[in-house]
């Protein structure tokens, strides 16, 4: 089954991704683990190779031609990311190794400086460990208290409970935009507005939204936003932090060393200006430039087109999943047709471990994820040690969903026969 949208998008872009055109265990690869990491288009691979072949040099510190070219491309990528999320200034974009480092930067720079005993941090039970553990560590160091937003009966973010937790003691709210397990799209603008009314700062984890949805940080109004490049067609080892300029200016450096300095004396140092005061040491120059190429690629396709096409894929995925008996799909009970969800589904099949499902599906060339997806507290809430997860991107097709469903049914039949 191939739709008109698929012909104009998935079929059009699949040739850009060389990794998709191979066999696994003698079967055509069906890659459905995009929430873990996306595949990389040729333009990104070629950009990375071109940097190392043609103008590999350190940035900002050299006057020679290669360094000038590298610096221009590096800072050009910063401009592209700023435009991609509608940041007011490229000075508000800090390059990090990944979103985890970006969250830790805020936690240790802003958190240690501003939090004190009795202050409250609000996060949700659906957060990725990277947006839980840093705040737990900071709470231990500062005496701040963490409060958790739980789920509604529909297994969605409980906005009413969140609002009831807010008080003048609330100093920080750190919330995921799109859950990597539930697939729910949280109302981050409303969350931000409510938090600001009590004077709290807001950090948004956009790892699962930036690759799929148009992000506008000025519209959301958040104080910080983080994302990882490897989930949005860029290489691993590169992510970014957005922060409002006035807030970043008031935060002390996170790491010390080359690049972040202004001047260094035996008695002390001065730090550089934004954003470089948070980019200590030699940066991932090639990866940043390739991130810029990935942003160009996604922008050329259009995030709106990607979202519309993925809605079609998601609706079809949930239609096919609900054909299977004894399946437990996690997330919103009000939209089991897939509408209003991100392009992923976490599930368990009664009596069959998710890891067993994943292993046998791999024998058929189908790559899905199994485990706790770095959301152990959420899985404990469901009395589950883990789950299987299928996650889609704009290069996936309806035919691949059919192949997955067929292999899943055959796998379930196999386990049913031997039990």
| Residues designated catalytic | 374
DSSP per position, 262-307: EEEETTEEEE--TTGGG--SS--HHHHHHHHHHHHHHHHH-HHHHH
Tokens (6 digits) for 36: 């873990």
Tokens (6 digits) for 268: 């002390």
Tokens (6 digits) for 413: 């039949």
Cis? peptide before 25, omega within 30° of 0? no
Question: Number of helices (H) and strands (E), helices first, in the chain?
Answer: 16, 17
Cis? peptide before 275, omega within 30° of 0? yes
* Contact by Cβ (8 Å): 20, 29: yes
Angle ∠(401,207,309) on CA atoms, nearest 5: 35
Tokens (6 digits) for 71: 């610096």
Distance CA 68, CA 74 (A): 10
Length of the chain: 419
CA-closest candidate to residue 279, choices 250, 245, 238: 238
Distance CA 80, CA 86 (A): 10
* Contact by Cβ (8 Å): 127, 150: no
* Contact by Cβ (8 Å): 192, 218: no
CA-closest candidate to residue 252, choices 105, 89, 60: 105
Distance CA 361, CA 37 (A): 18
Tokens (6 digits) for 158: 């409980």
* Contact by Cβ (8 Å): 225, 206: yes
Beta carbons within 8 Å of 15's beta carbon, 6+ residues apart: none
């Amino acid at each position: 089954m191939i739709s008109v949208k698929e012909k104009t998008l998935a079929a059009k872009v699949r040739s850009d991704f060389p990794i998709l055109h191979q066999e696994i265990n003698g079967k055509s690869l069906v890659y459905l683990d995009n929430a873990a990491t996306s595949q990389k288009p040729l333009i990104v691979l070629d950009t990375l190779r071109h940097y190392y072949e043609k103008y590999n040099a350190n940035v900002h510190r050299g006057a020679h031609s290669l360094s000038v070219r590298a610096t221009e491309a590096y800072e050009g990528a910063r401009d592209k990311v700023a435009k991609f999320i509608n940041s007011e200034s490229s000075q508000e974009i800090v390059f990090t190794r990944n979103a985890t480092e970006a969250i830790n930067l805020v936690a240790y720079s802003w958190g240690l400086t501003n939090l004190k005993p009795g202050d409250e941090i609000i996060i949700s039970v659906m957060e990725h460990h990277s947006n839980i553990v840093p705040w737990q560590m900071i709470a231990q160091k500062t005496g701040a208290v963490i409060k958790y937003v739980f789920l509604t009966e529909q297994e969605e973010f409980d906005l009413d409970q969140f609002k009831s937790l807010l008080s003048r003691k609330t100093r920080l709210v750190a919330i995921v935009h799109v859950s990597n397990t539930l697939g729910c799209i949280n109302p981050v603008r409303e969350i931000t507005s409510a938090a600001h009314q009590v004077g709290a700062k807001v950090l948004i984890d956009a790892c699962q939204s930036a690759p799929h949805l148009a992000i506008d940080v000025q519209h959301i109004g958040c104080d910080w936003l983080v994302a990882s490049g490897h989930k949005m067609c860029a290489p691993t080892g590169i992510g970014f932090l957005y922060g409002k300029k006035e807030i970043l200016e008031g935060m002390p450096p996170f790491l010390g060393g080359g690049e972040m300095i202004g001047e260094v004396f035996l008695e002390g140092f001065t730090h550089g200006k934004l954003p470089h005061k948070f980019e200590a040491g030699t940066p991932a120059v090639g990866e940043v430039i390739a991130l810029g190429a990935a942003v160009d690629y996604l922008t050329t396709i259009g995030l709106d087109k990607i979202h519309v096409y993925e809605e079609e894929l998601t609706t079809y995925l949930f239609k096919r999943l609900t054909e299977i008996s004894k399946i437990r799909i996690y997330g919103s009970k009000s939209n089991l047709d897939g509408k209003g969800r991100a392009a992923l589904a976490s599930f368990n099949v009664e009596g069959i471990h998710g890891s067993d499902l994943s292993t046998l599906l791999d024998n058929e060339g189908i790559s899905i994820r199994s485990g706790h997806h770095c959301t152990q507290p959420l899985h404990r809430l469901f009395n589950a040690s883990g789950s299987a997860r299928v996650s889609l991107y704009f290069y996936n097709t309806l035919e691949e969903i059919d192949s997955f469903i067929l292999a899943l049914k055959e796998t379930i039949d196999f386990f049913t026969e031997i039990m």
